[in-house]
């Protein structure tokens, strides 16, 4: 098994374990206690299972890859952070709804331009093949984020860049390490819950809990 495949299997495990956690949190009378040692151990076990359990001669993670595709590294890191955040630590401040809405709108434009529903005069996804323009923008955003003390976002994106640079991500397009359709959906859900007056941080809506 190559490092890239192992990373992809682990990503599927994180996605599956976090989805199960979200489903469990919806069951009346139950609410996951995040960040405690047993909870993290249970989550980690769940995350490793898809790589171990075999179905029709293939690891379950290989079936999940076929069904869902590989999530972006950013999504995986956000899900993992959400699951393992120690319960003793306060939750991160919720991202601003305006910021999330802007992110959502940008991503909503990005996917259709690349996949067809919109005429493709401008395909933002194509910028990721050469990487350099995306890296230049990310360098500026990282500098801005560091100046504002938004360290957690810097770390999340840095992990994605490190994984892509190390060849752990199947795609040769840098943007695929940063963005995926699930992240778009998570932005929309989290933006809705971050509106002024909305109940913040409800169960199952913690995928963007990294804060600003």
- Residues 18-77 touching other proteins, rule: CB under 8 A, are 24, 28-33, 38-39, 42, 57-59, 62-63, 65-70
**54, β-bridge pairs:** 59
The count of C-alpha atoms lying within 13 angstroms of the C-alpha of 168, restricted to the half-sphere facing its C-beta, is: 20
Binding of other proteins by 135 (CB under 8 A):
yes
SS3 state at 36 = coil
Dihedral sign computed on CA atoms, order 121, 123, 129, 131: positive
SS3 state at 28 = coil
Q: Nearest distance from residue 60's CB to other proteins, in Å?
A: 10
Query: Minimal CA–CA distance to 76: which of 147, 13, 6?
Result: 13
Q: Nearest distance from residue 171's CB to other proteins, in Å?
A: 4
Out of 52, 122, 143, 185, name the contact with other proteins by CB under 8 A: 143
Q: Nearest distance from residue 161's CB to other proteins, in Å?
A: 4
Which region, judged by CB under 8 A, interacts with other proteins, from 74-82, 97-105, 201-209?
Answer: 201-209
Residues contacting 132, CB < 8 A, separation 6+: none
Where do the DSSP E strands lie in 49-158?
54-55, 58-59
Q: Which is nearer to other proteins, 176 or 191 (CB)?
A: 176
Site string for other proteins, 100-119 (x = CB under 8 A): ----------xx--xxxx--
Residues in binding contact with other proteins, number by CB under 8 A:
84
Q: Do 131 and 178 form a contact (C-beta atoms < 8 A)?
A: no
Which region, judged by CB under 8 A, interacts with other proteins, from 74-82, 97-105, 123-131?
Answer: 123-131
Q: Which of residues 156-195 bind other proteins (CB under 8 A)?
A: 157-162, 164-167, 170-176, 179-181
Residues contacting 112, CB < 8 A, separation 6+: 118
Out of 48, 101, 105, 142, name the contact with other proteins by CB under 8 A: 142
């Amino acid at each position: 098994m190559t490092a890239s495949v192992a990373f992809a299997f682990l990503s599927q495990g994180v996605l599956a374990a976090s989805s199960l956690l979200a489903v469990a949190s919806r069951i009346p009378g139950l609410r996951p206690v995040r960040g405690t040692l047993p909870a993290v151990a249970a989550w980690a076990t769940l995350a490793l299972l898809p790589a171990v359990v075999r179905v029709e001669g293939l690891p379950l993670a290989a079936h999940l890859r076929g069904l869902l595709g590989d999530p972006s590294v950013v999504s995986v890191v956000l899900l993992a952070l959400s699951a393992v955040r120690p319960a003793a630590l306060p939750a991160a401040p919720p991202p601003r709804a305006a910021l999330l809405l802007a992110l959502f709108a940008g991503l909503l434009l990005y996917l259709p331009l690349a996949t067809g529903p919109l005429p493709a005069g401008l395909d933002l996804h194509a910028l990721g093949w050469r990487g350099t323009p995306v890296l230049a923008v990310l360098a500026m955003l990282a500098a801005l984020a560091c100046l504002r003390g938004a360290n957690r976002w810097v770390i999340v994106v840095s992990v994605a860049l490190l994984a892509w640079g190390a060849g752990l991500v199947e795609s040769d397009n840098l943007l695929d390490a940063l963005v995926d359709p699930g992240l778009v959906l998570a932005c929309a859900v989290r933006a809705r819950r971050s509106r002024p007056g909305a109940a913040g941080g409800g169960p199952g809506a913690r995928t963007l809990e990294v804060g600003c």
